Chains A and B, each alone.
Chain A
Amino acid sequence: MATSMYKEDIPFDEMFMAGGGVRRPYSDYHRWLEDQHARRLQQKSSEADALFRSVGVTFNVYGNKDADERLIPFDIVPRIISAAEWSKLTRGIEQRIRAINSFLHDIYHRQEIIRAGTLPARLVTGNSAFLPQMIGVTPPGNVYTHIVGTDIIRTGESDFLVLEDNARTPSGVSYMLQNRETMLQMFPDLFSAVNVRPVSDYPRHLRRCLSNCPPARCEGRPVIGVLTPGIHNSAYFEHAFLADQMGAELLEGQDLRVADGRIAMRTIRGYVPVDVLYRRVDDDFLDPLNFRPDSLLGVAGILDVYRAGGVTLVNAPGTGIADDKAIYSYIPDIIRFYTGEAPLLGNVPTWRCSEPDHLAYALDNLSELVVKEIHGSGGYGMLVGPAASKRELADFRQLLSSRPENYIAQPTMCLSTVPIFARSGLAPRHVDLRPFVLVSPDRIHISPGGLTRVALKEGSLVVNSSQGGGTKDTWVLED
């Protein structure tokens, strides 16, 4: 099919250069694409949809009763990253995550960073994501964030920035795996034309990562479980998928109880201890005895078992303090403090509305800024200034003025674009990237690529699936 250039007044596009040429990482793919017929691609595109539906790769949308299971739209044009770009990215991510783990250990122990005056104490001790129950606790292997999904945006040829750290329970890795499976099934020839690094070993790495941090009381080979809130959770498909792929138990709170200082699961022959729990349940709901008493999703007393070395919780409780949006703006300082190095990956400039001069700036420039709630996620409760109506701007002005400490503001970043396969042919759409990181005591593994989320609406900068975003297969090329 013909793949001519589209409009020129666009931001950085990862496939096409301003002059119309194809960027290097995309050259092999582009050559293949030119040999394809548009109608075949159209057909493949609908085949992909049917495939996702029958496999049941769906997600549940909160607050939407009619469509309780939806597909995340999949686009058949891959997002391609060169080996050099990838190695630069991974070095930056590794540095950041080592610093975050040092930071977590520090704030739950001696709090050197506060004593040194690098971080205001109120941001930690006055933060609801800070768990006093974790003070003085060192998790097995001293790993706090076993599983991280760092959100990266690109704004130019060599400009990668971290948008969010997602150090609690990042989701989306099943889409990374399923997207690749789908591409392999639909376009097997493509993978002999282009040398793409595989991602299918992720479940094995995940299992190893979980086994690498057994609790003190574990005997022999660790028994591993994935703790899910159940089939109504928006990411249930992923929980089941990962448990299945790893050969781990898929557990719900109702399967578990505390027995002899261990967490035990109810099997058909009686209660059997679980050693490592990859829990996809938030801190608040984990333990009705220690946190929210109304939670039915967790296990009463699990935090006490954890503190006594009876079970490993992945990620450790209390890691949310590190991906808090108020802490985010301090991460470059945190990296310098713990590693003594300059950050390899930058942050998006951030105004903390808790500070009067930052708030004043944010209010003056609201229509150009993105405003985010400190504890919000998933694209809920945020304002995209340039796309907002007068009414929305006025509402946010009021919110900001009444509770400034609840918000941060950032410039509207011009995310890079990658073409999608639209009805009319290729069309540029904004993307971000979530690489998936596994932390073991002695090493950090980053799956090559990750999940590319794409804003399917023309001009839109919001890539969240809950807000109409789609996904793409993400390729890292072999050297």
Chain B
Amino acid sequence: MVLGRTADGLFWMFRYLERSENTARLVAAGLRIALTRSRSGAEEWSSIISTAGATDAFLARHPGYEFDGVVDFMLRDRSNPSSVMSLIEAARNNARAVRTALTSEVWEATNETWMLLRSALKAPVKHHGLPEVLGLIRKQSAYVRGALHGTMLRNEMFNFARLGTFLERADNTARILDVKYYVLLPSVVHVGAPIDNVQWETILRSVSAEHSYDWLNEGDPNPAGIARFLLLDGRMPRSMAFCCDQILENLRHLESGQHAPSPSLALAEGLADSLRGRDAKDVLEEGLHDFIQEIISRIGKLGRQIETDYRFHA
């Protein structure tokens, strides 16, 4: 028997963890740009803040998009609910609240992550120390995920943990594309110019896919290829298609043995249908921005429906 509050705690614990990992990835991609092309740094940082949905909060605290300010805001600032530290703390609080639903390995991995990051992020992170801190965040996320996979029963609790992970990941990937969609538009005509190659690479880098893209696509990135890869390629673990499959699988597991299909399953199938059989070139021509806005809204609706269907709240 799973309590509604436990399902809520697990679902959000893994949303927070996934989000913190994505934040670290975004900062890593930004750092890369800042290192290679110092002049468009500010633009890059501003799109990172915007992807995190924190533009207003950031500008209220910082005069402009400078390296130190952005890194501090995204990694350490506790007044920013999507900073890595805030997220890890929220994830750990949830883990404490659902302690009995976790194996001791998952709990200890989460607790250790919190302890290590709290000490690594105690003081502002200097330029030269950033790669190490980002590496630590990535490593710890992998550790928690490994503990989850290696030790948790494949039961309903596991399903809620996974639903949180993939809903959040789908949302993050969609947001990255949304902020950068103009880079992929055909109307931006400097095709082949170095500026766009770097921009495209940044998109791939923010989902840690710069190498897998090359492997699978045997060639230079191009807008349609990138859109296809991030939206429709079921082999790529941060793509929309992949996340949708996982969401469906976990919802179906939760529904097995139940009398009637839940509204959330219907919404998830709707989301999957909106991707099925689509062609990336058509999507780009019909309007990438609208397409992604639609997906983001579907993901939001699905998340809220899961919370209702499974009685997260009284």
Interface residues of A (CB under 8 A from B): 53-56, 230-231, 236, 240-241, 243-244, 249-252, 254-255, 257, 265-270, 272
- Complex formed: what's the CA distance from A469 to B43 in Å? 55
Q: Knowing A55-B104, A240-B96, A243-B100, say if A251 contacts B3 (CB, 8 Å).
A: yes
In the complex, are the beta carbons of B108 and A267 less than 8 A apart? no
Task: Name A256's closest neighbour in chain B (CB-CB).
Answer: B314
B97 at the interface (CB under 8 A from A): yes
Q: Knowing A54-B108, A266-B314, say if A272 contacts B1 (CB, 8 Å).
A: yes
A55, A250, A254 interface centre (most CB from chain B within 10 Å): A250
A56, A251, A270 interface centre (most CB from chain B within 10 Å): A56
Minimal beta-carbon separation of B241 from chain A (angstroms): 27
Taking CB atoms, residues of chain B closer than 8 Å to A231 are 93, 96-97
In the complex, are the beta carbons of B111 and A268 less than 8 A apart? no
- Complex formed: what's the CA distance from A268 to B254 in Å? 10
Interface secondary structure of A, over-half rule: mixed
- Complex formed: what's the CA distance from A254 to B97 in Å? 13
B112 at the interface (CB under 8 A from A): yes
Minimal beta-carbon separation of B110 from chain A (angstroms): 9
- Complex formed: what's the CA distance from A54 to B92 in Å? 12
Task: Name A243's closest neighbour in chain B (CB-CB).
Answer: B100
Given contacts A236-B96, A249-B1, A267-B1, 9 further A-B contacts (CB under 8 A): A55-B104, A240-B99, A244-B100, A250-B100, A255-B3, A255-B4, A255-B314, A266-B3, A272-B1
B7 at the interface (CB under 8 A from A): yes
In the complex, are the beta carbons of B311 and A267 less than 8 A apart? yes
- Complex formed: what's the CA distance from A56 to B311 in Å? 29
Minimal beta-carbon separation of A209 from chain B (angstroms): 19
Q: How many interface contacts (CB-CB < 8 Å) are there between A and B? A: 62
The 4 closest A-B pairs by CB, nearest first: A240-B99, A268-B310, A244-B100, A266-B4
- Complex formed: what's the CA distance from A89 to B112 in Å? 41
In the complex, are the beta carbons of A56 and B5 less than 8 A apart? no
Q: Knowing A231-B97, A254-B314, say if A54 contacts B111 (CB, 8 Å).
A: yes
In the complex, are the beta carbons of A270 and B311 less than 8 A apart? yes
- Complex formed: what's the CA distance from A230 to B94 in Å? 11
Taking CB atoms, residues of chain B closer than 8 Å to A252 are 5
B193 at the interface (CB under 8 A from A): no
Could you say which of B100, B111, B311 contacts A266, with CB atoms under 8 Å apart? B311
In the complex, are the beta carbons of B97 and A230 less than 8 A apart? yes
Minimal beta-carbon separation of B307 from chain A (angstroms): 11
In the complex, are the beta carbons of B3 and A249 less than 8 A apart? yes
Minimal beta-carbon separation of A274 from chain B (angstroms): 10
Q: Knowing A230-B97, A244-B100, A250-B99, say if A267 contacts B115 (CB, 8 Å).
A: no
B14 at the interface (CB under 8 A from A): no
- Complex formed: what's the CA distance from A383 to B310 in Å? 52
Taking CB atoms, residues of chain A closer than 8 Å to B96 are 56, 231, 236, 240
Taking CB atoms, residues of chain A closer than 8 Å to B7 are 268
Taking CB atoms, residues of chain A closer than 8 Å to B254 are 268
Of the A-B pairs whose beta carbons lie under 8 Å apart in the complex, a sample of 26, sorted by A's number, is A54-B108, A54-B111, A54-B112, A55-B108, A56-B107, A56-B108, A230-B97, A231-B96, A231-B97, A240-B100, A241-B99, A244-B99, A250-B99, A252-B5, A254-B5, A255-B3, A255-B5, A265-B1, A265-B3, A266-B5, A266-B311, A267-B2, A267-B3, A267-B311, A268-B3, A269-B311
